[in-house]
Amino acid sequence: MTRVQLVVRGGTVVDATGTRRADVAVGEGVVLGVDPGIDVPRGATVLDAGGCFVAPGLVDLHAHLREPGAEEAERVETGARAAALGGYTALVAMPNTDPPMDCAAVVRQVRELAVGAAAEVLVAGAITVGRRGEQLAPLAEMAELGVRLFTDDGAGVQDARLMRRALEYASALGVTLAQHCEDACLSADGHMHEGEWSSRLGVPGVPAAAEEVMLARDLGLARQTGGRLHFLHLSTAGSVDLVRSAKAHGLPVTAEVTPHHLTLTDAAVGTWDPVFKVNPPLRSDEDLEAVRAGLADGTIDAIATDHAPHPQEAKEAPFDQAPPGMVGLETALAVALTCLTEGEELEVAGGRPHRPEGRQGGGGAALPFERLLGLLSWKPAAIAGVSNRHGGPVAPGAKANLCVIDPTAEWVVDPARLASRSANTPFAGCRLKGRVRHTVLGGEAVVVDAEAQR
């Protein structure tokens, strides 16, 4: 009989099967028991979950860990630590590194860097060699190493014919292609959402159509090829409509949205702080409402961070010269809980918060906590192909990848205290409700009382 090494005590277990008051006993990396009153054996660690939810660990489909190539911004180790503090037990590392993750050698290198990290790092491979959009990368070679997602993220695959062939080729490998939808001709030279604010601020815009044109094209290609497609960081009302209609017609596509596109709008650019520069750009109030509606009705399958660290000096450039991107691993859950479940609006430092006219008390229909967890845990786990070890029900025999969430803890985001190597959070100074208390990875407590243990 396996020895109980750790007991998560006094919490309420929430997973895809429902909610119940239970302690969770863990040993040798797996869940041994889920029961309202588990005796703690001598020598076992106790994690206090009083007043907390005990859930499967979160899974992030979209993180830029910057290693190899830009270690001053982030490293695999620091990114994984930030993830664990945010409640994640697994995260997908995007391939836009230097060199890019477009072959087995780089995939192996990143995996080695992730040994002993505070979260499981899943590597996404590039679709094309060098992410240049010209020639297929060795997808099979990477798939044999277990890579399940492929993307040229940072750019979309511009060539429709190449994308078609990629979908066909990938279908034999049982892998999913993830598209960063952005028509480079339409978005060229743009630095923020094209609309009322870009017109007022005199900043070249990125039209919503830049995203929607490629999305519409790819839906056609998915229909043509039968290939599996996931859409990264959708940001416009038109995109939500396209995916909704594609799903209604039975296309096997999935989509994600970021916490910042759910909570911030292009009005924040009026602060002239490049921390609000991101790609796709923060959109309009109407777009924000539409992506929230897409979450509510199931059109959108996952909330993904698009954690994109940049060093301070890079973000102190003029707005049109600063690189796009925001860190998000440590704030995603709390931002989602605060804005989507509690229905509150954030006061962004120095900025104009999203506050649509005529909305009472903000938030619209609140998203139930269980559904929110699904969007952050079991649904992205399925898209990433890791449901066998992440996001599954908390039950005996399951891998012990868990997070313990205190839904009432309030905290203020302090960029200087983030575990990420970079501090470019748009939520600096925001008061958030809900915090990760503990994270358990493979049976070991990697976060205890909101402090990283590795």
Partner 1 sequence: MSAALAPAPGHDGGRAHLLSVADLGREGIEEVLQLTDSFSEVSDRAIPKVPALRGKTVASLFFEDSTRTRLSFEAAAKRLSADTMTFAASSSSLNKGESLRDTVQTIDAMGVDAMVVRHRSSGVPWQVARWTRASVINAGDGWHEHPTQALLDCYTLRQAARDGRPGWAGRVGETGLEGLRIAIVGDIEHSRVARSDVAAFSMLGAEVTLVGPPTLLPSSLSGWPVSVSHDLDDVLPKVDVVYLLRLQAERIHESLLPSLREYTARYGLTRSRAARLSEGSLVMHPGPMNRGVEIAAEVADLPCSVVTRQVRNGVAVRMAVLFLLLGSGQ
Catalytic positions, written as ranges = 306
Q: How far is the CB of 185 from partner 1 (least distance, A)?
A: 11
Q: How far is the CB of 201 from partner 1 (least distance, A)?
A: 6
Q: How far is the CB of 234 from partner 1 (least distance, A)?
A: 21
Pick from 321, 355, 417, 449 the residue near partner 1 by CB under 8 A. Answer: 321
Asked whether position 316 contacts partner 1 by CB under 8 A, the answer is yes
Secondary structure class of 353 (helix, strand, coil): coil
Other CB atoms within 10 A of residue 413 CB = 20
Asked whether position 353 contacts partner 1 by CB under 8 A, the answer is no
Which of the stretches 160-168, 201-209, 240-248, 368-376 binds partner 1 when contact is defined by CB under 8 A? 201-209
Q: Are 338 and 411 in contact (CB under 8 A)?
A: no
Asked whether position 319 contacts partner 1 by CB under 8 A, the answer is yes
Which of the stretches 105-113, 152-160, 197-205, 286-294 binds partner 1 when contact is defined by CB under 8 A? 197-205
Pick from 318, 358, 361, 397 the residue near partner 1 by CB under 8 A. Answer: 318
Pick from 195, 392, 426, 443 the residue near partner 1 by CB under 8 A. Answer: 195
Count of positions on this chain that bind partner 1 (CB under 8 A): 23
Pairing of strands 53-56, 12-15: parallel
Q: Which residues contact 454 (CB under 8 A, 6 or more apart)?
A: 81, 84, 116, 117, 118, 446
Which of the stretches 9-17, 152-160, 212-220, 311-319 binds partner 1 when contact is defined by CB under 8 A? 311-319
Q: Residue 172 or residue 317: which is nearer to partner 1 going by CB?
A: 317
Secondary structure class of 389 (helix, strand, coil): coil
Structure tokens at 396: 């005996």
DSSP tag of 326: B
Site map (CB under 8 A) of partner 1, residues 264-303, x = contact: -------xxx------------------------------
How far apart are alpha carbons 363 and 288 in whole angstroms? 11
Which of the stretches 162-170, 202-210, 404-412, 442-450 binds partner 1 when contact is defined by CB under 8 A? 202-210
Of the candidates 158, 150, 167, the one whose C-alpha atom is nearest the C-alpha of residue 132 is 158
Cα–Cα separations (whole angstroms), residue 57 to 200, 236, 260, 447: 43, 29, 21, 12
Asked whether position 79 contacts partner 1 by CB under 8 A, the answer is no
How far apart are alpha carbons 162 and 359 in whole angstroms? 45
Amino acid at 170: A
Secondary structure class of 268 (helix, strand, coil): helix
CA-CA-CA-CA torsion for 427, 431, 432, 438, nearest 10 degrees?
Answer: 100
Which of the stretches 106-114, 204-212, 288-296, 396-404 binds partner 1 when contact is defined by CB under 8 A? 204-212
Pick from 125, 133, 205, 259 the residue near partner 1 by CB under 8 A. Answer: 205
Q: Are 98 and 68 in contact (CB under 8 A)?
A: yes
Asked whether position 199 contacts partner 1 by CB under 8 A, the answer is yes
- Binding residues for partner 1, rule: CB under 8 A, are 194-196, 198-205, 207, 271-273, 313, 316-321, 350
